[in-house]
Amino acid sequence: MRPKSSHKDLPPKMLRRTRVLKSGKVWESFYYNGRTTEGRRVEIPLGGDLNEAKRKWAELECCKAP
């Protein structure tokens, strides 16, 4: 697998979505970049807290949390 070009602080197959709201606040959420049984791409929401998102990512990857 090639190295990530952005968000290198996140584990493999984990995405960060960042949006600036009208109020000026920054909204941030994390997703797992997975595949269906047919091979189609699907993003599974992991939440807005990085530590909790890493725990959920570890459950999906079946490995120890980083």
Q: Please tell me the total number of residues recorded for the chain in this structure.
A: 66
7 versus 57: the higher-pLDDT residue is 57
Q: Which helix (H) or strand (E) holds 35?
A: strand 26-35
Confidence of residue 17 (pLDDT cuts 50, 70, 90): very high
- Residue pair 6/24 in contact (Cβ under 8 Å)? The answer is no
Confidence of residue 56 (pLDDT cuts 50, 70, 90): very high
Distances (CA, A) of 23 to 7, 18, 20, 41: 25, 14, 8, 32
- Residue pair 47/29 in contact (Cβ under 8 Å)? The answer is yes
In this predicted model, what pLDDT tens digit does every residue of 28-46 receive, in sequence order? 999 999 888 898 999 999 9
